[in-house]
Structure 1
Amino acid sequence: MRLILALVRAVLMLGALGAAALAIAGLFGSMVPELDLINHFQILLLPATAVGLVFLAVMLRGPVRGAALVFGLAGFAASASMVLPEALAARRNLPPAPAEGTVRLMTHNLFGMNYDMERVVAAILAEDPDIIVFQEYFGEQATDLHPLLLAKYPFFVRCRGGKRANLGLYSRLSFSQLDEDACPNDAYGDQRTAHILAQFTLDGDKLFSVLTSHMDWPYPVARQREQLGQLTEVVAGIEGPLVVAGDFNSTPWSYTLRRFVAESGLERQTLNLFTFPMRFYYFGAWRDTLPFLPLDQVLTRGVSVHSVETGGQTASDHLPVVVEFSVE
């Protein structure tokens, strides 16, 4: 029994030190891009380092206790420095919406294996957005969803391309599509990413643009960084108020997303908003779970944002995000 307890104690100590080591390594993600991958999971490392620190304080004895406690505390502080500023910033007070002239926008990754489009429509109707942007909007989804939306959202555009290039935009407001070459129409094409850029007019003279896109996963590191760099160049060429919404496959604790926000000059509105994963595949079926990663982002320039929240759950592995804004 003593041997088993000693083994359990050793495993827990290694786990506590390992969590601290990962949290500290993430701090160097700005210099070593591969280490930035760790930062996407800082929300899990924060409680892990906290529990590990308590374990080290209670269970360790002898000359190594002091060094282990310092290392554990450094790991907890490293993770907290990534996670807590985002959580505190989310407590901001947004300006109240004016009596008229606001626009509601919903962004939603439909999930390529989601075939329950009536549930998607129910979530849309519950939020009543003026503009909807979709990611992972494949032909299987469009066949059922498109006719369900047309009556209320007669203005639309679709992108059909490679893995992340399947996008959609539906609106009850008329718009002009810009940068059409960035939106392919070949379901068997090899263009991996795309974007939809639409320009709207409010009250006859207020112009604003909406852009939606879908980034790849953060690994390989160079691929996502290149995609975000290209998107930065696109944003730089857009004049006037702008709303960028979509699945960035990147969390706000990563240096990669922080760099994009800084270089693009946009303001990220989705603070500490957890949208993924809503579903996991295990034991032979897709099962609901609790989201712990904020992958779906809304960023703005030149607009006043009055509310940002998640929408109702659909059969997707992402929650929709709904933002209400007015043009300054």
Structure 2
Amino acid sequence: MGLLRIVISRLLAMLMFGEGLVCAVAALVSHGGRVSARADILTHFAPFWLAGALVVVGYALLLAPKTLRTVFLTVGGVGVMAAGALVLPELIRPMTPRAPASAPNQLKLVQFNVWGRNADLAQTAQWIVDQDADIVVIEEASPAVRDAILLRRAYHVVCGDCQVMIFSKLKPLDSGAPASPAGLPRPPIAQGTYRNAGGQFTVLGAHYTWPTQGSLQQQQGRRLAWVLDHYSKDAMILAGDFNSTPWSFSRRREDRLFGLERRTKALFSWPAGEVSRQRIKVPFPFLPIDHVYAGKQWRTVSVERGPALGSDHFPVIVTLARTP
């Protein structure tokens, strides 16, 4: 038993050192995302680097041999500091004070990537209708998705044959985004302008490519920012699947570039349930990639994540109140 204990102890030490080294190096390289789209891919997994490094620090304090404690504390500590520097800004990001639940001029919005391989389209459409939302922004939409929703409720639809659709109780006053400027690839975008008791406002929905195509994704971000500049931002709402987390440098740059406040804060929305063609089950979401932005005339009443439906994304439900 003594020999077995020694072997297990050494194997555990090797495992912890390897884990700490991987997390520390990955977190440090992630900071290269400031200048490199490829390095920025690693930032999306910053919570993993942070959690892994914390485990190593815990091992150093509780179980590591005294002669190696400093080594493990150093490796784990570097990982904690490097990864924490990526995650912490989102957690402490200042937000506009919320409006009370009784605030007037409220608008309820559902943002949802329904997934092209949705496993239960009928249940998904029924849930969307049951929310009684004023605005529904759908990504990976299709005629089948559109028809399933309209079968259950007579919404007005913007871009009814597009990958991104906007459903609304209000009839749009205007729709359609400006043509793409030269050199900037356009992500799927839908735009609708509406008027309610609080006044006129513009809603845009967007869907970016994956972060593995980092350069293309960043170009799409610049293209979307160019589109946003064509409308009044004070009462604007932007929602979509941006395929980027709030600890990525791409998302931080766009937060500043858009001139809107992101109302979702570290809201983990992917994956939900079964993902990939192999239908792999994931127990919990670990990437916050679905976001809702709003202009300064909107105050947030509530932000919540919806249930797992037939998609690989969770829906996001945001209620806003318009201020004078």
1:23 is the counterpart of 2:27: yes
1:70 Cα deviation (Å)? 2.4
Deviations 1:276-303 (A, max 9, x none): 1002348954536311211100011132
By how many angstroms is 1:171 displaced?
0.8
Post-superposition Cα deviations, 1:192-247, rounded to whole Å, max 9, x if no partner, equal: 732111111122x7111000010011112101000001001111121141000000
Match of 2:301 among 290, 306, 311: 306
Cα deviations by residue, 1:290-318 (Å, 9 ceiling, x for unpaired): 11211100011132221111123311111
- AA matched with 2:299: S
Is 2:313 the counterpart of 1:318?
A: yes
> Structure 1's 70 and 299: CA in aligned 2 closer, same or farther, altered over 3 A?
same
Preserved CA contact (<8 Å) 2:203 2:238:
yes
After superposition, give the CA deviation of every residue in 1:97-144 in whole Å (9 maximum; x if it has no partner).
Answer: 455321111110001111422211332244221111100012343343
Determine which of 62, 79, 82 is the counterpart of 2:83: 79
Q: 1:323 to 1:284 in 2, by over 3 A?
A: closer
2:262 counterpart of 1:268: yes
One-letter code aligned to 1:169: I
Unmatched segments (≥5 aa) in structure 1: 184-190
RMSD in angstroms over aligned alpha carbons? 2.6
SS at match of 2:274: strand
- How many correspondences in the alignment? 312
Q: Secondary structure at the match of 1:175?
A: coil
Residue 3 of structure 1 deviates from its aligned partner by 5.0
Rounded Cα–Cα distance in structure 1 between residues aligned with 2:76 and 2:279? 38
Q: Which residue pairs with 1:171 in the alignment?
A: 168
Cα contact 1:97–1:325 (8 A) shared by 2: no
Number of the residue aligned with 1:59: 64
Decide whether aligned partners of structure 1 residues 251 and 262 sit closer, same or farther in structure 2, where only a CA change above 3 A counts.
same
Residue in 1 that maps onto 2:210: 217
Q: Does 1:158 align with 2:159?
A: yes
- Kept in 1, the 8 Å contact 2:114–2:141? The answer is yes
- Sequence identity percentage: 28
Task: Note if 1:36 corresponds to 2:56.
Answer: no
| TM-score normalised over the length of structure 2 | 0.86
Equivalent pair of 1:199/1:209 in contact (CA under 8 Å): yes
- Which residue among 204, 226, 241 is the counterpart of 2:219? 226
Give 2:131's aligned residue.
Answer: 127
Task: Return structure 1 stretches of 4+ with deviation > 6 angstroms.
Answer: none
Tell whether 2:200 aligns with 1:207: yes
Secondary structure of the structure 2 residue equivalent to 1:219: helix
1:26 & 1:47 partners in 2: Cα distance? 15
Which amino acid letter does the alignment assign opposite residue 297 of structure 1? H
Which amino acid in 2 is paired with 1:292? Answer: F
Work out whether residues 305 and 317 of structure 2, in 8 Å CA contact, stay in contact via their aligned partners in 1.
Answer: yes
